[in-house]
Every structure is written in C-alpha cells, then in structure tokens.
A and B are shown apart, each in its own frame.
Chain A
Amino acid sequence: MELTGAEILVQCLKEEGVEYLFGYPGGAVLHIYDALYKQEDVKHILVRHEQAATHAADGYARSTGKPGAVLVTSGPGATNAVTGIATAYMDSIPMVVITGQVPTSLIGNDAFQECDSIGITRPIVKHNFLVKDINELATTLKKAFYVATTGRPGPVVVDVPKDVTGAKAKFSYPKDISMRSYNPSSKGHVGQIKKAVELILSAKKPVIYTGGGVILGEGCQQLVEFSQKLGYPVTNTLMGLGAYPATDKQFVGMLGMHGTYEANMAMHHCDVLIAIGARFDDRVTGNLEKFCPDAQIVHVDVDPASIAKTVKVDVPIVGEVAEVLEALIKQIDVSESKVDTSAIDTWWQQIDVWRAQDCLKFDTEGDKIKPQSAIKKVYELTNGDAYVTSDVGQHQMWAAQYYKFDKPRRWINSGGLGTMGFGLPAAMGVQLAHQGETVVCITGESSIQMCIQELATCLQYGLPIKILNLNNGFMGMVRQWQEFFYDKRYSQSVMNVLPDFVALVEAYGHVGIRVEKPEDLDAALDAAFNKHKDRLVFLDVITDPEENVYPMVPAGAGLNEMVLV
C-alpha cells in the first residue's frame, strides 16, 4: 500500500519508538500534522515557541538516554529552533529535528517562510539532510536516528519539503542501516588499554576526571567499579555530575571555574590524570599553561577529535566509554602491577587537608535568604532523588555545588552553550518522560523570562514541575563579573523591573508563592512539594542580591589559584 510522505514520516517515528514529538505547526508541515491527527502512538506536545520544543526534547533525551524528537515548520519555525539545536550540539545530546521546508519547486525562490535551514544549522548539527525524493524519506530518517544516537551523539536535522510530505510512495522501514562514510569505533585499542593500566597503577597522586561522556555512553556503573577498585579520587565536570555518586567518600566534587578547592588542587598536583568522556573545556582547565603541570594523562573518549584538542595526552584511547572501562577493569585484574596503597593513603591525607577548607561553606546569618541554603533545602526535601533542570548563571553553579547527585541523568543543564531559557522547557521533557517523579527547575528571575510562555504548555499537559526561582534582581553571574572585574559598574545587569511572578503564574493557572524571609522557606517548600504535589508550583524566592558564587578560578588563572571567598 502506498502512503503519503507525511504518513511515512509518522510511521518512521513510530518505528523508532518516539513517544513524544515536541513541535509547533505551520504551513510547510500541515500534511505531517494531518497525519499525526489520525494516529495515537506518537504523542505530540504543543509548545508555545519552537526553542522550547528543542529544549524539551533535549531534556527528554538527557533524562532517558533516548533520542529527542522535534517537528517545526519552515522559516521562522526552523530559526527559532536553532538555539535549542546548538544547545544539544554543544552537549552531545541525541536529537532528531524535522524541519518543514517550502516545496522543492520553490526552494531558492525566497518563497514565503523559506530559509536555508540546512545552511543555517550546518555548523550546529552532527549532520543534516534535505529530503528531495519521497523514496528516500524512510531511509533518511533511519540514518538520522542512527547518526544522532551512535558514536558521540548529537542533533540531526532532517529538512522535508512540503511536496515530499504530500507525495505518495511505498513504505518499508529499513531494519538496519550502514553508512560507508560513518563508522564510529567502539572498542579501545588493546595495546593502549595495557599501557594505560600500567600508568594508572604506577600513580602516586592520581585523579579520575570524568565528563558528560560517561553518562551519554552509559558507563556510570563501570566508572564506579573502576574507581572503587582503584580507590582513587573522582571529580566530575558540570556535565558529568551524577556519573559517580556525589555522596561517596571518593568523590571530591565538581572541578573547574566553580569547582571545589579539593578537586582543583588535586587536579593541579596530580601525577596521573585519568580523563574519561571529558573534553578539557576552558571552564574546566583554567589557564592551559598552568594545567596539571606534573601529570601524565590517559584520555578515553569516543570522539578522536576530542583527544589532544587542547591538552597533550600520553595515552589516548578511542572507544565507547563503557566498553573501554570494562576492558580497563579486566586489565587491572590481570596486571602484575598493583595499586601503590601507601602512596594513595598519603595522597588522600593531602586531599583531606584541602577538603578541610570546607570551600562550600556560606554565611547563614542575616535576614536575607541565601540561595545556597534554598538549594540545600530542596536537596534534603527531595532526598537527593529529584530530576533537577537549571537555567544558566549563578543559580546553575549553586545547584551544581549544593545538590548532590548520586545518580546519572538527574542533573539537566546547558553546560556547553550556556543557554538561558533552557530550564523550564527541559523540565517539561523530563517530566513527561518520568511521570510521578519529582522534577525541579532551578532558575533565576532573568533566565526564567526567556521561555516563560511554556507555563501554558505545562498546564495543558498537567506537568507538576516545581520551579525554584532564585530572584536576586540581577543577572547574577554578569553582575558578579562586573563586581570583580569592572569595578562594580553594573552595566545592564540589573533586572529589577519584574512581573509579579505570583500573579503571572496564577494567570497561567498554576500555584505561585513568594518567599522573602529565611524563616518562611520551609513552609513554602512544603507547600510546593507536598500540599500542591500534583500542580506546578512557582516559588519566587527573594534572595540576597549580592551573593557570589565561590570558590572561583578567575579567568586566566590556574586551577591552584582559586579564590576561596
């Protein structure tokens, strides 16, 4: 039987197991929306802005490990989606974004709602496809999901002209796909594994430094086994939080610009650095010339281009993190070398001295709410088991510092691109994927306004997200840098003309609570998480306006040159 291109497209999504399609209709995708109307397997989530569709699909993908799926129309639909695609690209999130396109006969004619979606998205996708022939539609979608989810994952855009969705063709979905130009490697090189293990076991001051790749590559369990077998300290990047349980004694906290003192000092002084699924981002390394001066480096990554990109590596291993970790564990077991336990004990004594600085302590006195204490309370109230999304800025760093993630895929934030407006729509994707679980969006008064229209989407689909709006009346991180490096000239970072958030969220049909005093916080949290368990609750928490994120590695400094308070 022949199907229309639109029906084929929807069938393909079904075949790929897409539960939720986040999107927004428009002229070029009307055939597809009609095909969606006639079925119930793929549930469409109608957002209020296409940026939110991509962030929601992204949140879904980050919290489940399955690819997110997005459908937007041509022209402005596609350009609005760009921020979300770039966000997913920077953090290697698997996602397939279907953009409508004007009919093939009109491409290049400056037609209504036409833009070169392929050209615009090319630098921010893992790959993209323009489907000009209906007979290639199914295979192209198969390829799109394959490319998005394998190797180093990433977003893939499929641009589908309207006439292709209107035409008819026979449908058969390919079971398997292989592409001669795309063969991501999975197993690490045996010789390199042996070499790495000898170096790892010879370490006297080792650090295991892991990033988002361990979560994306489903290697968390293996990481725990590997780390505990060795007894070495573990630090996670912002993207890697949750890969190793934060409450375990071997965990020394996040590293980098706002990482812990003990993590950064251990990095600086280590003799063997074991980097796994991390990419030596500038926010992690600080000044490259001062980075890990005495370390020999093992680097495991699925993407060869991540290895030796910014930092020279002694033992590179290209492969899937989980498989390589398993191979490393086996090799440790058979190696004649053993962990130098006395050296490691001494190393831990040194780390404990750094730990004793208690770099995350903060002043709890005074009549203003400390943002850190609000996050700590949320952590305690949710038993550390909530899915937490964040926007970008001070609140993001505080969430990373004070919410201790013991499980992977619970911490959902835009690390690479640093996209304000990410938190709320991402939380929608997370909540849809994990119904009945607690989803908290930690945000600020500036970030939340960038996608606040999604409160309507949350109402439509009954998403009981808990929004913790840490409202300090500033773009906090901008203000912090202006305080430190621009003599307190707060140029355009004051955000004190704000809506009445409580009235606003109530207008959207949700519960809003404003909290101004530290002593009122517990009751408000109780209302949000218990009394109004099944509703979206927006806590507008007025916090100390000039609180800063500490500790901090100033720009241009080495990790050992942290400012503590």
Chain B
Amino acid sequence: MQHIVSILMENESGALSRVAGLFSARGYNIESLTVAPTDDSSLSRMTLVTSGTDDIVEQILKQLNKLVDVIKLVDLTESPHIEREMMLVKVEAVGESRSEVKRLVDIFRGNIIDVTDTTYTVELTGPGERLDAFLQSLSSISIHEVVRSGSMGISRGEKVLGL
C-alpha cells in the first residue's frame, strides 16, 4: 500500500541525503520526494511517498525517526489528509489537437501557461490520480515533455505537524 509520509526536519546540508541514503541502504522504495524550507528557514518539510507492507512501513517510519536531523514525522495516510501534486506538460498543439487540448485543460481545471505556434505548456495541480487521468486523456495527442513535482500533503482539520 502507498503511504505519504510528511517529515519535519532540520534544514541542514546533508539532511536530504540522509533520508535518501536510508532508503537506498535498506532497500525501501521511494516513489516521490519533495522538500523545501518552511516559513521557519531553519526547518525543512519533506513529503515522501513510499510503499510496502505494514511491517516495512513501520520500520521505515522508525528508521526515519531515528535520523538525528528528523524532528517529527507523520504518516498522512493514517488519517484524513489532502494530497497535491503539480505537473507541467508540453504537448503538440497544431490543427484539431490545438482546440482539443484547450478543452481537456478546461475540463481538468488546468492552465495553459505558455504558447507557441505548435505547442501548449499546461500546468495542472491535484492529487496524483487526477494528473494520471489527464495524461491518459491526452492519449491521441503527442506529449513532448512531462514534469511532475511529486506529492505534497497536509492533514485535514486542525491537526498540525509543527515544533
């Protein structure tokens, strides 16, 4: 099963490689990983999507917690949460496909953020599955480039992952 782990850690050089190194050394999967400083520049917030059996995920959480740079973490999948990912797609937009792409972008509530005579660049934000669905709907259209941010997540309600 897929798990979204949100990690609050010291914004120190090398902190990211400690997490990445832990996953490669112990043979765990990383499906996606995003990281950036928070409003407090001494902190980094990382969202890591991984998968494994319950036992493996329990070990992953414990091993992450054991890293000295990790302050707190939460498995968002255990409770209601919001998941968002951003995608930039450059697609062919000539002839009939030009209007078809525009229609699809409207349906998926994305934005066309760059235009040339032959291409559109589309920005789309949402849960990972919605981005997958958008790419699928483009099946008859030639895709030049796809850039995805990886998932970010946050708990619903008043629950906070903070100091």
Interface size on B, residues (CB 8 A): 20
- In the complex, are the beta carbons of B58 and A308 less than 8 A apart? yes
With both chains docked as a complex, state the minimum distance between the C-beta of A387 and any C-beta of chain B, in angstroms: 31
Greatest chain A CB density within 10 A among B13, B14, B63, B66 is at: B66
Within 8 A of B (CB), among A81-123: 118-119, 122-123
Q: Which residue of B lies closest to A151 (CB)?
A: B66
Q: State in angstroms the CA–CA spacing of A322 and B63 once bound together.
A: 23
Whether a CB of chain A sits under 8 angstroms from the CB of B62 is yes
Tell whether A182 pairs with B68 under 8 Å between CB atoms, given A118-B14, A123-B25, A130-B14. Answer: yes
Selected contact of A180 from candidates B13, B14, B59, B163, CB within 8 Å: B163
Whether a CB of chain B sits under 8 angstroms from the CB of A491 is no
Q: State in angstroms the CA–CA spacing of A253 and B58 once bound together.
A: 33
With both chains docked as a complex, state the minimum distance between the C-beta of B85 and any C-beta of chain A, in angstroms: 27
Q: State in angstroms the CA–CA spacing of A169 and B68 once bound together.
A: 27
- In the complex, are the beta carbons of A181 and B66 less than 8 A apart? no
- In the complex, are the beta carbons of A181 and B18 less than 8 A apart? no
Selected contact of A304 from candidates B17, B18, B62, B69, CB within 8 Å: B62
Q: Which residue of A lies closest to B8 (CB)?
A: A181
- In the complex, are the beta carbons of A122 and B21 less than 8 A apart? yes
With both chains docked as a complex, state the minimum distance between the C-beta of A281 and any C-beta of chain B, in angstroms: 15
Within 8 A of A (CB), among B1-37: 9-10, 13-14, 17-18, 21, 25
Greatest chain B CB density within 10 A among A180, A181, A182 is at: A181
Given the complex, which residues of A lie within 8 Å of B13, measured CB to CB? 130
Q: How large is the interface on A (under 10, 10 to 19, 20 to 34, 35 or more residues)?
A: 10 to 19
With both chains docked as a complex, state the minimum distance between the C-beta of B160 and any C-beta of chain A, in angstroms: 16
Whether a CB of chain A sits under 8 angstroms from the CB of B65 is yes
Greatest chain A CB density within 10 A among B10, B58, B68 is at: B68
Q: State in angstroms the CA–CA spacing of A147 and B63 once bound together.
A: 16
Given the complex, which residues of A lie within 8 Å of B17, measured CB to CB? 119, 122
Q: State in angstroms the CA–CA spacing of A118 and B66 once bound together.
A: 18
Q: State in angstroms the CA–CA spacing of A303 and B71 once bound together.
A: 16
Q: Which residue of A lies closest to B63 (CB)?
A: A305
Given the complex, which residues of A lie within 8 Å of B62, measured CB to CB? 304-305
1/0 per position for A456-493, CB-CB distance to B under 8 A?
Answer: 00000000000000000000000000000000000000
Within 8 A of A (CB), among B63-83: 63, 65-66, 68-71
Q: State in angstroms the CA–CA spacing of A304 and B59 once bound together.
A: 9
Given the complex, which residues of B lie within 8 Å of A147, measured CB to CB? 68
Given the complex, which residues of B lie within 8 Å of A304, measured CB to CB? 62, 65-66
Selected contact of B71 from candidates A119, A126, A127, A181, CB within 8 Å: A181
Q: Which residue of B lies closest to A306 (CB)?
A: B62
Q: State in angstroms the CA–CA spacing of A181 and B62 once bound together.
A: 14
Whether a CB of chain B sits under 8 angstroms from the CB of A498 is no
Q: State in angstroms the CA–CA spacing of A122 and B66 once bound together.
A: 14
- In the complex, are the beta carbons of B59 and A309 less than 8 A apart? yes
Given the complex, which residues of B lie within 8 Å of A182, measured CB to CB? 68
Tell whether A305 pairs with B25 under 8 Å between CB atoms, given A122-B17, A130-B14, A181-B9. Answer: no
- In the complex, are the beta carbons of B14 and A181 less than 8 A apart? no
Whether a CB of chain B sits under 8 angstroms from the CB of A179 is yes
Across the A-B interface, give the 10 residue pairs with the lowest CB-CB distance, nearest first.
A305-B62, A127-B68, A181-B71, A123-B25, A182-B68, A304-B62, A305-B66, A305-B63, A181-B10, A122-B21
Question: Could you list 27 A-B pairs, sorted by A, with CB under 8 Å?
Answer: A119-B17, A122-B14, A122-B18, A123-B21, A123-B25, A127-B68, A130-B13, A130-B14, A179-B68, A180-B163, A181-B9, A181-B10, A181-B68, A181-B70, A182-B68, A303-B66, A304-B62, A304-B65, A304-B66, A305-B59, A305-B62, A305-B63, A305-B66, A308-B55, A308-B58, A308-B59, A309-B59
- The residues of B with any CB-CB pair to A shorter than 8 Å are 9-10, 13-14, 17-18, 21, 25, 55, 58-59, 62-63, 65-66, 68-71, 163
A sample of 5 more A-B contacts (CB under 8 A), given A181-B69, A181-B71, A303-B66, is A305-B63, A305-B66, A308-B58, A308-B59, A309-B59
